[in-house]
Chains A and B, each alone.
Chain A
Amino acid sequence: MEPTSRDQVDDALEAARRREADQPSSAVVRFGEDKPLRLDGGAQLAPWQIAYQTYGKLDADKRNAVLICHALTGDQHVHSIHPVTSKPGWWNLMVGPGKPIDTERFFVICANVLGGCMGTTGPASLDQATGKAYGLDFPVVTIADMVRSQAALIEHLGIESLFLVIGGSMGGMQVLDWAAHWPDKVFAAMPIAAGPRHSSQNIAFHEVGRQAVMADPDWRMGRYIEAGTSPKKGLAVARMAAHITYMSELSLHQKFGRRLQDREAVTFGFDSDFQIESYLRHQGTSFVDRFDANSYLYVTRAMDYFDLAAEYDGVLAKAFAGTKTRFCVMSFTSDWLFPTSQSREVVHALNAAGASVSFSEIVTDFGHDAFLLDEPEMFAIARGFIDSAARARGLDRKAGR
């Protein structure tokens, strides 16, 4: 592709992305000055908005709602074409007619996270006080803030309690936060490939990513939108580094090995000789088209701050004391970003709290990304758990099953 046409493509995508930040093509709820969002950092965010997608129908008694919490760079387009990239929904394997999260039985909701860039208020959104994008004037948000914004949406939709809250990775953190802070609103919870806190190693990787963004001269102290620039190189490097952590050594070896990219021999230069280099560069460049660099800073920060036990004197079990929620926790053997030990910690805390909990460690080579991929054991467990929870909630009788 010629550079000019590539640039034009970029420009078109970037224009679409910037439009989504304030005027999302999905549903959106706008909260005015009278309904500020209280943030952990002390700020009151107002006005603010939350963009979301829904699939399926809400029952008359509003008991069949499923909330999906998306991961770091995900968004609300779980089961619909992405408005910027035109790619299919990111969890079509899990969500849809006849899928474990069956859109013919459940009313499925997924909202863009607070601090994101797909229509929920974040650093790329217009700050009405200044008429410019927030940039770094946007307050730092937490996982609990994201969940609080989702709770406001759920209340707006008139839903008293969610049948299921489910998500992987950062989505799993939100699931745990939902269960801890809003126990009466969560009938069943499925945190996948998550943990009770972001580990030192995970914070370290995020810091590398953020420093890559901020080291890009086009970042302009976060004011790149007004400057007419975009820190694409920095954000691409951040994505490349992060992407490595989503895979396992074995999956990299199987997928790429030391194979060379369109050449017979190494070139004794720094072009992408190896397929893995080419693949990572592609991951980096395609990511910057659809994601805002400042959003990346904020959302990674929210994950870093996550430590569910902290507000309970360091005793995780207290976060779930007295819970009636049914839990199903899942981890993956080759996930070294959120290793099984972290899921086990959650399970042990739930056991200590006397909660109803199932736990499965799925054997896979896919690493952390496994929750997004075709992992039949994961679907089998999810289907079993969700179906039995639906029976326990009496959802099936109404559906005539």
Chain B
Amino acid sequence: MNVHSDVAQAANTPGRDARVDLRLIAELVEPGSRVLDVGCGEGQLLQLLAETRGVDARGIELSQKGVNDCVARGLSVIQGDADRDLVFYPDDSFDYVILSQTLQATQRPKDVLRHLLRIGRRAIVSLPNFGHYGIRAQLVLRGRMPKTSFLNYSWYDTPNIHFCTIRDFVELTKEPDVGAIMEKAIALNAWGQKMSLNAPWWFWNLFGEQAVFLLRRA
């Protein structure tokens, strides 16, 4: 599989203090493009993109606090959610649509992914890997639903209702009615470090704590 190509190093590397997954995502975005960040939180990624890549950055966020913070920073953010509001965006309205650590919290992840690929020329999806060995161990050895510092919820109150592993997600992108072409994939280990690019999928799926995918429509 030809997804393990390196991330092109841009001339201006996005800020070093930003969360590593946000920096990774920012590096995937061509400078000066139009970007929609779905589930943009308090706007850290949007701000990073605006400052380091000069992009026209828009966001969707569910929480009032997130929206307030974003608007106060001068970002264009609408209160809404991926399941309900993506349907209203026209085809090809953005160069990139980003879904960062949010897919697992949507009602219909497959529909959301299809909308991302419809609205944007490219989609960038980052997600926590439920196949990580630490998570597997909790279920297998302790017989308890996994809980990590990264996914710190009990099974009964978690907003993360649609977990998947890296491999699950890769399979989803190949479904005929999704039809995404994977241009890049990056896995991060528990220390937030990029994992070896020529490692096999099973290795990523076992040791990757999160992954970032750059997709485009087939």
Chain A residues with CB under 8 Å of chain B are: 326, 328-329, 344, 347-348, 351-352, 354, 356-363, 377, 380-381, 383-385, 387-389, 391-392
Contact = CB atoms under 8 A, between A and B. Distances in A.
Given A360-B79, A392-B74, A351 B93 contact: yes
A72 to B, nearest CB: 26
B78 A347 contact: yes
Nearest to A327: B76
Interface string B61-85: 0001001101111111111100001
B71 A360 contact: yes
Nearest to B69: A384
Contact of B72 (A352, A363, A380, A392): A380
B93 A358 contact: no
B159 interface: no
A363 to B, nearest CB: 7
20 contacts: A326-B76, A328-B71, A329-B78, A344-B80, A356-B76, A357-B58, A358-B67, A358-B75, A358-B76, A360-B78, A361-B79, A362-B64, A363-B64, A377-B64, A381-B67, A384-B73, A385-B72, A387-B72, A388-B71, A388-B72
B150 interface: no
Contacts of B90: 351-352
A95 B114 CA distance: 45
A14 B15 CA distance: 65
A249 B54 CA distance: 47
Contacts, number: 71
B89 interface: yes
Contacts of B79: 359-361
Contacts of A388: 71-75
Contacts of B85: 348
B49 to A, nearest CB: 15
A62 to B, nearest CB: 23
Interface in B70-114: 70-80, 85, 88-90, 93
A357 B88 CA distance: 14
Q: Which label, helix, strand, loop or mixed, suits the secondary structure of the B interface? A: mixed
A358 B72 contact: no
Contacts of A344: 80
Q: Which residue, of B58, B73, B74, has the highest number of chain A Cβ atoms within 10 A?
A: B74
B72 A384 contact: yes
Interface residues on B, range: 20 to 34
B72 A357 contact: no
The 7 nearest A-B residue pairs measured at CB: A388-B74, A384-B72, A359-B78, A348-B88, A384-B71, A356-B76, A358-B71
B74 A391 contact: yes
Contacts of B70: 358
Nearest to A328: B71
B74 A352 contact: no
B72 A359 contact: no
A357 B76 contact: yes
Nearest to B58: A356
A380 B78 contact: no
Contacts of B78: 329, 347, 351, 357-360
Nearest to B119: A351
A377 B58 CA distance: 21
B68 A381 contact: yes
A377 to B, nearest CB: 7
Contacts of A329: 78
A392 B75 CA distance: 11
B88 A385 contact: no
Nearest to B77: A358
Q: Which residue, of A328, A329, A352, A384, has the highest number of chain B Cβ atoms within 10 A?
A: A384
A389 B80 CA distance: 22
B64 A360 contact: yes
B67 A360 contact: yes
Nearest to B72: A384
A163 B75 CA distance: 18
Contacts of A381: 67-68, 71-72
A380 B73 CA distance: 12
A352 B88 CA distance: 7
Given A377-B64, A389-B74, 19 more contacts: A347-B78, A348-B88, A351-B89, A351-B93, A352-B93, A354-B93, A357-B76, A358-B77, A358-B78, A359-B77, A359-B78, A360-B79, A361-B64, A362-B64, A377-B68, A381-B71, A384-B71, A385-B71, A388-B73
A288 B85 CA distance: 44
A247 to B, nearest CB: 22
Interface in B179-215: none
Nearest to A348: B88
B88 A384 contact: no
Contacts of A391: 74
A100 to B, nearest CB: 11
Contacts of B76: 326, 356-358
B89 to A, nearest CB: 6
B88 A351 contact: yes
A379 B178 CA distance: 43
